[in-house]
Amino acid sequence: MFTETELEAFFDEHLTTSAFRLEALDHYEVDSDGDDFARFKAGEADPDWERKNAWLEVLRAEREAGIREYRVRVLRTPLNDYLRYECEWGYVLNAEAGEEIHVLDLAECELPAEVVDHDFWLIDDTYPLRMHYGEAGEFIGAELVGSLDRYQKARDAALAAAEPFERWWARHPEEWRANRPV
């Protein structure tokens, strides 16, 4: 099982054309969020721009290098605070930086049978990495798994059932923090 550092090294060594991500947890407790989720819940106007801009620069550089970053976010409306945070301070900004984000809202459609029941990355359409998280959403490790065909089919089915984030988000203004009671 890869640690976070080993996973980053794997990406550095193997990512040349594309990185697909399937996200399905309702909450993640990961270092990459910094203190932004707490800031979001406290009503702060913006994320920690120093931290966030570093990630946005990675996305822009990958796009300029011809690397496709894309994901399907499996969720169910109404959103919890963490999912709202991901949408407003994550996906809106990531999409502007070039990441393709799609949403599969289980309140609006069924999860296709081909979609696996766990988070994963598919690097360069060749390397499936199953992500392991604890009950609180903390990262435990990543595992390079076989069954490439299974993960390619899961990706394809998830993408076919999902819709672009920007369109989905525009249809759900009731989920925007600005429209929520304090």
CA angle 3, 155, 146 (to 5 degrees): 50
pLDDT digit string, tens, across residues 62-112: 999 999 999 999 999 999 999 999 999 999 999 999 999 999 999 999 999
CA distance 92 to 22: 17
Hey, which residues does 144 pair with through a beta bridge? 129
Residue 127 φ/ψ, nearest 5 degrees? -115, 100
Residue 24 φ/ψ, nearest 5 degrees? -135, -10
Q: Cβ distance 94 to 60 under 8 Å?
A: no
pLDDT digit string, tens, across residues 108-143: 999 999 999 999 999 999 999 999 999 999 999 999
Global confidence as pTM: 0.94
All structural domains of the chain, each given as residue ranges with its CATH number in brackets, are 4-179 (3.30.870)
Q: Cβ distance 90 to 75 under 8 Å?
A: no
Q: What is the DSSP letter of 26?
A: S
